[in-house]
């Protein structure tokens, strides 16, 4: 059976590539070897390399494990969609305003 792949837009791929570069820089700043991060995150070196390249085929769990192995950086994942301005705008548009009777 063929593996299903999701369509990725160029800006999404650029965001993943940037995130991968930032993860690699964080590892290098901490002077952590790739093998040590792999051991801490329980991922293979190939997976770490794919993460550092920003591959869309790596699971978010592997990304989170590597971020955690870098010193608890996985806490930043809870900030995703925290302030959903667009969602709140749509929600406010659906609210009905009651009209008062004169």
Model pLDDT for residues 51-87, shown as the tens digit of each residue: 999 999 999 999 999 999 999 888 888 888 888 888 8
Q: Binning pLDDT at 50, 70 and 90, where does residue 1 land? A: low
CATH number at residue 50: 1.10.260.40
Give the chain's domain count: 1
pTM: 0.78
SS3 letters for the chain? CCCCCCCCCHHHHHHHHHHHHHHHHHHHHCCCCHHHHHHHHCCCHHHHHHHHHCCCCCCHHHHHHHHHHCCCHHHHHHHCCCCCHHHHHHHHHHCCCCCCCC
Q: 30 in a domain, yes or no? A: yes
Q: 85 in a domain, yes or no? A: no
Q: 94 in a domain, yes or no? A: no
Q: 80 in a domain, yes or no? A: no
Domain of 25 in residue numbering reads as: 10-75
Q: 4 in a domain, yes or no? A: no
């Amino acid at each position: 059976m063929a593996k299903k792949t999701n369509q990725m837009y160029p800006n999404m791929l650029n965001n993943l590539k940037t995130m991968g570069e930032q993860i690699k820089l964080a590892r290098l700043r901490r002077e952590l070897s790739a093998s040590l991060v792999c051991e801490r995150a329980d991922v293979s070196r190939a997976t770490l390399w794919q993460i550092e390249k920003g591959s869309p085929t790596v699971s978010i769990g592997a990304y989170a494990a590597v971020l955690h192995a870098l010193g608890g950086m996985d806490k930043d994942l809870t900030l995703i969609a925290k302030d959903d301005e667009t969602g709140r705008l749509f929600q406010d548009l659906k609210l009905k305003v009651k009209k008062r009777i004169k």
